[in-house]
Structure 1
Amino acid sequence: MSTSPDWTGARAPDLAAFEDMAHAAFANLPLAFRNLCAGLLIHVEDFPDEETLGEMGCESEFDLLGLFRGIGLAQGGEAATGQMPNQVWLYRRPLLDYWAEHDETLGHLVTHVLVHEIGHHFGLSDADMEAIEAAAES
């Protein structure tokens, strides 16, 4: 008798479930990091749009897991009047594809992409972002 989980009825999380997972991952990040992100909007889409794929030089719609758009601290951090808020997009299908090919949990992957998309635009080092991820998991 097998002790592995029964996956026969399992389904991939839909956009709403993925968005819930992203917001839960964000809420679990250290307060100091979340404070850098005041007003951040998190979006979940199945794939990036054609304009984004072209802008990012992607060869496939599966090439991009997430994207930050906005003004981070590394770019001056001051919001101009009428400027759109900082936003992060997570792309469900590329994330699911990556998850299926790697040995990590989906929750960890969502947290990782969220932290890295935000972190790079706030000028954080990879070591800083690893520490944020570790704090979120503890």
Structure 2
Amino acid sequence: MPVEVDAPMARFHHPPSLEDIVEMAEQAFGAIPKELRDLVRGVAIVVEEVADEDTAAEMGIESPWALTGLYRGTPMTRKSVLDAPVEPDTITLYREPILLEWVETGEDLFRLVRNVLIHEIAHHFGFSDEDIERLEGEE
């Protein structure tokens, strides 16, 4: 009897690296409609291993392993051209929690990275977690 290979795992013979996740995030970002990409211009997208304890505590999360992504910045709904420049808006994807969710759920890794990225972009546009959950439920 042939052994079935899990499709998401088939591409990788080792845990995907930071660079692999960056590549997926870039591909996912490139697939977003140009009109939306233009509105996200200037937002840095970075990948880190895992959030630190202080970040998790700041977000009200018990464990950094529960945080797959984070938007830091001022949502577009609260920006003004009169605001003094501050640190650039940043979307951080956390590799290890994403991989943990990938292994636990069996979801396609690219789709998971894309969903985390889109979730954080939604925060850039001023959507709350509740708004995003409601929109995801309408799919």
Any residues of structure 2 matched to 1:47-86 within 5 Å, and which?
A: 47-76=50-79, 78=81, 80-86=83-89
Question: Contact 1:116–1:129 at 8 Å: present in 2 too?
Answer: no
Q: Distance in 1 between matches of 2:66 and 2:52?
A: 12
Classify the secondary structure of the residue corresponding to 1:68: strand
Pair 1:33 & 2:39 matched: no
Q: Distance in 2 between matches of 1:128 and 1:27?
A: 25
Pair 1:101 & 2:104 matched: yes
Question: Contact 2:53–2:63 at 8 Å: present in 1 too?
Answer: no
Q: Distance in 2 between matches of 1:54 and 1:115?
A: 23
- Percent identity among equivalent residues? 38
Q: Distance in 1 between matches of 2:34 and 2:64?
A: 33
Structure 1, gaps ≥5 residues long: none
Structure 1 residues 52 and 77, CA gap change in structure 2 (3 angstroms): farther
Provide Cα deviations, 1:21-64, integer angstroms capped at 9, x if missing partner.
11111111111111110111111111002221110111112111
Structure 2, gaps ≥5 residues long: none
Classify the secondary structure of the residue corresponding to 2:100: helix
Structure 1 residues 32 and 79, CA gap change in structure 2 (3 angstroms): farther
- Give the match for residue 20 of structure 1: 23
- What TM-score does the superposition give when structure 2 sets the normalisation length? 0.80
Q: Which moved more, 1:4-13 or 1:54-63?
A: 4-13
Question: What CA RMSD, in Å, does the superposition of the two structures yield over aligned residues?
Answer: 2.6
Structure 1 residues 104 and 84, CA gap change in structure 2 (3 angstroms): same
- What TM-score does the superposition give when structure 1 sets the normalisation length? 0.81
Classify the secondary structure of the residue corresponding to 2:114: helix
Q: How many residues align?
A: 131
- Give the match for residue 5 of structure 2: 5
Please point out which of 93, 96, 113 is paired with 1:90: 93
